[in-house]
Structure 1
């Protein structure tokens, strides 16, 4: 299967990151958490759970954290693919494992998670509209007809990673990443994922206004 690195960007996730890392490492032993200038004990708890921790001295944003994680994973010559995984407990390790298996079984370059390929994920109406709009925007502007353009659970092969450099530091990085992947003309597929919206993850999530701001930022970019 090769060596998979799981990349977890985190910012003040001390309440949950230890449990998230421990759960991930039951399946994927190689985990790097990128601490994006947290003011709590996130880095300490992630290390205690067995993750490698790379720290930003100041908060730069999730896009910058992912790029730092990509660079770290690429420094391991045995790395064959990475999984991008949220720190707040929304993602399921079983989905990540299924995506890695699909990548290898079908000789793919990337597998992108989608919460809209089955009915497990419950999304409120306003968020569904924003996510559908983002998916439509992606289909228009890239070569990737995704059903869920802003799903943070992804598997990317090493050759893809070597050709990716994220410049959008904050949340607009998700659409930029899809744009970059689409430009590579690679073999990719979607995979049904179950996103669990806990009270904690919803409290940390984006507002509708922030989602609109992402689209505006991307259009001007």
Structure 2
């Protein structure tokens, strides 16, 4: 735990009261500093996050996941973070993957490590349509940025402070994923992908996230974020 005390885990959240406590408990077993950015939830997400031991910031208006991440980035950097982890609030990510990514960034002197469900070692089962759309997204990112990534829309990321200083999200909603890739590509610092597992739970499926995320990929490609 001590070796990751320079790391802040930023969790953007919107109406995640049923699961946020468990997600935070899992993350705090490996990371002492967790910040939940509540994007104007209509439930008890923020209160439950604080009860679980997380710091919280609360948007008075719903601004979208990208805006929530930027709030978290600014707060973490202001508090001296060396590394920032982005971590979804719905329980799809594995805290052990995040820890392995931070340890790899430190060991290999990487400015960013991006999670991929498609690299060897990842155990995620992805439907054919979603896989195809994600592949199109990766090809579009390669054409736009020169970064040969396999999974540009994975919410699990580790970004070192010097790279994060180059990230200024203006896409408040899901288009922020492509914007992060573009801005990291432009920072000129070394990075890598890392195999991770995404768990599509009954909870996340009930919220419709896999289909929604597929649609968001298409939207990203149309918008062509910078």
Do both share a fold (TM > 0.5)? yes
**1:108 aligned residue:** 110
Q: 2:220 aligns with which of 209, 214, 221?
A: 214
The answer to whether the Cα contact below 8 Å between 1:132 and 1:147 also exists between their aligned partners in 2 is: yes
1:139 aligns with 2:134: no
**2:125 aligned residue:** 122
**1:64 aligned residue:** 67
The answer to whether the Cα contact below 8 Å between 1:143 and 1:183 also exists between their aligned partners in 2 is: no
1:17 aligns with 2:20: yes
- Number of equivalent positions: 219
Give structure 1 stretches of 5+ with no counterpart.
Answer: none
Shift of 1:207: 5.4
The answer to whether the Cα contact below 8 Å between 2:23 and 2:91 also exists between their aligned partners in 1 is: yes
The answer to whether the Cα contact below 8 Å between 2:134 and 2:214 also exists between their aligned partners in 1 is: no
- C-alpha distance in structure 1 between counterparts of 2:107 and 2:196, whole Å: 18
Q: 2:90 aligns with which of 76, 88, 104?
A: 88
Can you list the C-alpha shifts for 1:54-96, whole angstroms capped at 9, x where unaligned? 000011000000000000001112x110000000000001100
Q: TM-score, normalised by structure 1?
A: 0.96
- C-alpha distance in structure 1 between counterparts of 2:28 and 2:173, whole Å: 27
- C-alpha distance in structure 2 between counterparts of 1:163 and 1:214, whole Å: 20
**2:99 aligned residue:** 97
Shift of 1:218: 2.0
Superposition RMSD on alpha carbons, in Å?
1.3
- C-alpha distance in structure 2 between counterparts of 1:93 and 1:151, whole Å: 14
Can you list the C-alpha shifts for 1:150-180, whole angstroms capped at 9, x where unaligned? 0110000011112210011000000010000
